[in-house]
Each structure stands twice: as structure tokens, then as C-alpha cells.
Amino acid sequence: MRIIILFNPAAGRGSARRKLALAVEVLRRGGVDPEIRESRSAEHLHELARQARAEQPDVVVSAGGDGTHHHVINELHGGEIPLGIIPLGTGNDIPLGLGISSNPRRAAATLLRGRTKSIDLGRVGSKVFAAVAGAGLDSMAARYVNERAQNLRGTAAYAWAILRCLKDYRPQPMEVHAEGFSFSGNVIAVLVGNHPFYGGGLRVTPCARSDDGLLDVCLIPAMSKWRLLPWIPRVYRGTHVAHPRIQYFQTPRLTMDSPQPLELYADGEFVQKLPAVIEAAPRVLRVVVPD
């Protein structure tokens, strides 16, 4: 069995190398000596993923955080080579949605004894995402985490970022259109999920599944911060969608636009500025998941 591991040493706030060593130990005990290729940047990671795909190994493994997996997925989707994941990041939402353990030893065991599953992705132009895309408060929080919340991990980092950004945030005008649905007005955020998890385990689109051919949309319209704040803790359980003003629906395709220069983030990474057309791309990625 030939495994190529694409490793981001910057993942996990400095803990990535130690965690990867634990995973590699399990692989070697299982009779697999993986090839490890270390990335220097996002652009270099794309180059490594293209090269690995061309070599046709049994599995290409993304070893890093959600940003790492996002970039590797954008090079592997549409092909036959399965993606394996060793979670080394602070959020690990993509593996969480696939049932892959955040423990590096267990994740490595999945590579040895798991099964291959075909999953959907979300598509924005030429780019794809695995977890959640969004614009509004959440994209501001994602930027804050990437640039300023360097000492926090996982849910704590995103929760802190949301609270910090909410302090100065003003609802933004947005138009959202899907089959049988139209909205025009000010929003706090619009989140589009291919699976439930975002921000280190927050269930922002709790009903989403990565194999149903649909995207789940959670639209949070403008409301006072004092009305919204009590509902924020409910995102951990996914019960925030019971808020009487939040709109939640499923669709294979939607458009988002705004007269303001709003940014769309997906899997915690910047994708583009609005407008955007977001579509479900059914069963375009093969992934090794627990059996």
C-alpha cells in the first residue's frame, strides 16, 4: 500500500510535527511506510497535491488543519484517488463531519482499516469546499481567527472571534436566491453547509449531510445583538435554528449578492468576494472514513 502524506508543519499552533509522528508510528506498525512531503505555503501545497495525484498512489493523505484539507481537496476532487485525513489543526471540522477521530493514532488506524466513501462537495466557481461556506459575521470571524486569534484553539478561537467581531458588526445588505426561496434585506450572516460543523465543532447547519446532493442554508437576518446573544450558545447543539427569525432550508444551488464588498469564506479560507453562485457537487470526492 502506497501512501503519500502532504504535511503542513504550521498546523495546530506548533503541535503538528509531534502529532504526525504518532500517526506515522501507527502506519509503520501496520506495515506501511508513508512518503511525507512537507508544504511551505498554500501554493506549494496545491503543487504537491497535483504531483501526488499524478503519481497515482493508493491514498493521498492531508495532514494538517481544515485549511490544509481544503487546499488538497481542491486538487483531488473529481479523481479516483482517495483522500485520507490526519487531523492536526485547531478546528478539525472537516474530519469531524466525516467521523474521523482528531486523535492522530486513531486517524492513522482509519487509513489502514477504513473504507472508501464518495461524498459531496460545495462548489463556488472553480473552487470546492467540504464543510461550510459563509458571508457576513462568520467570514469576519474567520478572518479574525486566521490573523489575530493565534493563542486559542478550536471552538474557543471561533467563539472568541464571533464575540469580538459582533461588538462592532453592523448587519449587511444581501440578496439570496434559491429554488422556491428569495430574500432581500440586511443579514448578520448566511451560512451554507455541506455538513454540520464549523468553527471547531459548532453545529451551524445541523441537518446537513455530505452525501445527499443538497446544501443546507442558515440565514440569520438583522436583529439586535441583545436578541441574538442568548442564542449563540445554542449553536453548539444546533438548536439555534429554532429561533423564530432564523431561516433554514435545503437547496442544490443558490446565489448570494450584496452591494457591499462582502467576502465569502469556506472551510475557514477566503474564496472570493460576492456575488457568488454556490452549488452542490454530488459524490465528487472519495474519502477514507472509519469502517
pLDDT tens column, 57-68 = 999 999 999 999
Closest CA relative to residue 250, chosen from 187, 204, 208, 190 = 208
Please give the full DSSP string across 218-246, using - where no structure is assigned.
EEEE---HHHHGGGGGGGGTTGGGGSTT-
Residue 93 zone, left/alpha/beta (φ > 0; ψ -120 to 50; rest): alpha
Number of CB atoms found within 10 A of residue 38's CB: 15
Q: List the grid coordinates of 176.
A: 439570496
The angle formed by the CA atoms of residues 182, 183 and 188, to the nearest 5 degrees, is: 145
Are the C-beta atoms of 286 and 83 separated by less than 8 Å? Answer: yes
Q: Domain spanning 3-113 has what CATH number?
A: 3.40.50.10330
pLDDT tens column, 31-51 = 999 999 999 999 999 999 999
pLDDT tens column, 142-162 = 666 666 555 555 556 666 666
The angle formed by the CA atoms of residues 147, 279 and 256, to the nearest 5 degrees, is: 60
Q: Where are the domains of the chain?
A: 3-113, 129-283
- Which residues, at least 6 apart from 32, have a Cβ–Cβ distance to it below 8 Å? 1, 3, 111, 112
Residue 134 has pLDDT above 70, yes or no: yes
What pLDDT, on the 0 to 100 scale, is given for residue 146? 63
**Strand, helix or coil for residue 118:** strand
Find out if CATH 2.60.200.40 is the number for domain 129-283: yes
Q: List the grid coordinates of 49.
A: 497535491
What pLDDT, on the 0 to 100 scale, is given for residue 223? 87
